[in-house]
Structure 1
Amino acid sequence: MPGPVFLEGEKVTLRPPEEEDVDLIQCWMNDPSVWRRALDVNPTSRQQCAEFIEDVLQGDDGVHCLACDDSAPLGLVSLNDSQYGPDETSRARDTELAYWFDPDHHGQGYGSDAARRMIQYAFEDRNFRRITARPGSFNDASVGLLESLGFTHEGTLREAAWFRGEYHDMLYYGLLREEWNSQ
């Protein structure tokens, strides 16, 4: 495994992305079953992917981890800085949960385990009060994952996403710390 384990779930370990992961992440970013659901339609070169890893995944804006089964990376799970302020003194204490997984590993519980562990970290270690997520209405698997973790549908941006030749709604989900603690 290229990097040390940062967090451990029941099925996965979470570790920071490293330079050695660029080829795999580039494959995911160019896989239509990943990028179409993530709403990023541009092809990604190796250099662009390396810059994405350095600037975003290894940057100071948020927490980004590869979810791994043993040493094999399965996908990416992130806590992105709040729209209300990225610093630790942000009054809203809000972060956004985001994730994408290799299609070969969908439906096996890896995404749920990685998201659950990242949520626990957000509330217990980072002292966030609220977590949001924004799946497209076409992404039934992501909606199901969020609802299984206790997220509540809070709103809809009508026809805000273009996916496979049609406009779709973007869904806004939220989870408060007290809701998580009561599970």
Structure 2
Amino acid sequence: MYTDKELTIRPVKEKDLPRLWELIFKEENPEWKQWDAPYFPHHTKTLAAFLAKKEQWIDDDHCWLIEVNDVVVGTVSCYYEDAQKRWLEMGIGFYEGKSWGKGLGTRALILWMNHLFQTMPLVRVGLTTWSGNYRMVRVAEKLGMTMEGRMRKVRFYNGTHYDSIRMGILREEWASQYATN
């Protein structure tokens, strides 16, 4: 668990599952999906179906909760892009609009990236987004990430083509600006 004032990131516990389901899978067309890869379909699940796979969430090292004032509002996550486990990508989801635009995403990702670099033998951490998610691009820039790739017009949403954007930061770049002991 890591904390920055009223914001905490921590592993998922069984008691968190109903709230996670409510945030992610309850609604057919949640507002957050407009920003989080809206070109991919979103599928609802019943609470029972979600709870049937609870072991995928509880104490998973690759997906933690974000709490603000002890209320679950989102997740931070990571996954390997390659079988050698050298290319780690991370992500973040804030599932309610009232959490957006307050700098909470930047703060949560600082905590998460510190955790990743402190607990894993990583050379680089990256994130992939799309040009329509200008908030995520801005957060990555604030974190000191470099644009490493732009695949032009490969994402299609609401009649418009968008770019896929890959950003990343090396361990030494991160350590020079954010790392804590």
TM over 0.5: yes
**Corresponding residue of 1:136:** 130
Which moves more between the two structures, 36-45 or 126-135? Answer: 36-45
Deviations 1:105-162 (A, max 9, x none): 1011111111000000011122322111011001111000000001000111122212
Deviation at 1:48, TM superposition (A): 8.2
Aligned to 2:174: 180
1:164 CA displacement: 2.1
Secondary structure at 1:78 match in 2: strand
Per the TM alignment, residue 77 of structure 1 is displaced from its structure 2 partner at its CA by 1.0
Distance 1:7 1:53 in 2: 26
Corresponding position: 1:65 with 2:84: no
Quick one: structure 1 residues 182 and 49, their matched pair in 2 at CA, closer, same or farther if it must change by over 3 Å? farther
Match of 1:113 in 2: 107
Deviation at 1:58, TM superposition (A): 3.9
Change (3 A) 1:53 1:99: farther
Out of 31, 36, 39, the position equivalent to 1:38 is 36
How many correspondences in the alignment? 170
Which residue of 1 is the match for residue 74 of structure 2?
A: 75
The runs of 5 or more residues in structure 2 that have no matched partner are: none
Alignment-derived partner of residue 92 in structure 2: 99
In 2: Cα distance, 1:173 partner to 1:137 partner:
12
2:156 aligned with 1:158, yes or no?
Answer: no
Residues 26 and 45, structure 1, Cα contact 8 Å, conserved in 2? yes
Whole-angstrom CA distance in 2 between matches of 1:115 and 1:49: 29
Deviations 1:75-122 (A, max 9, x none): 111122x1222xxxx462x31110111211101111111100000001
Coordinate RMSD, CA, aligned: 2.5
Q: Is the 8 A contact 2:151 2:163 kept in 1?
A: yes
Q: What amino acid sits opposite 2:62 in the alignment? A: V
User: 1:15 aligned to 10, 16, 19, which one?
Assistant: 10
Give the structure-1-normalised TM-score. Answer: 0.81
Q: Distance in 2 between the 1:150 and 1:123 partners?
A: 15
TM-score of the two chains, using structure 2 as the length reference: 0.82
Answer whether contact 1:25 1:49 (CA < 8 A) is retained. no
Structure 2: distance between partners of 1:66 and 1:128: 22
Kindly provide the amino acid, as one letter, of the partner of residue 54 in structure 1: K
Q: Could you tell me which runs of 5 or more consecutive residues in structure 1 were left unpaired when the two chains were aligned.
A: 1-5
Distance 1:111 1:156, change over 3 A: same
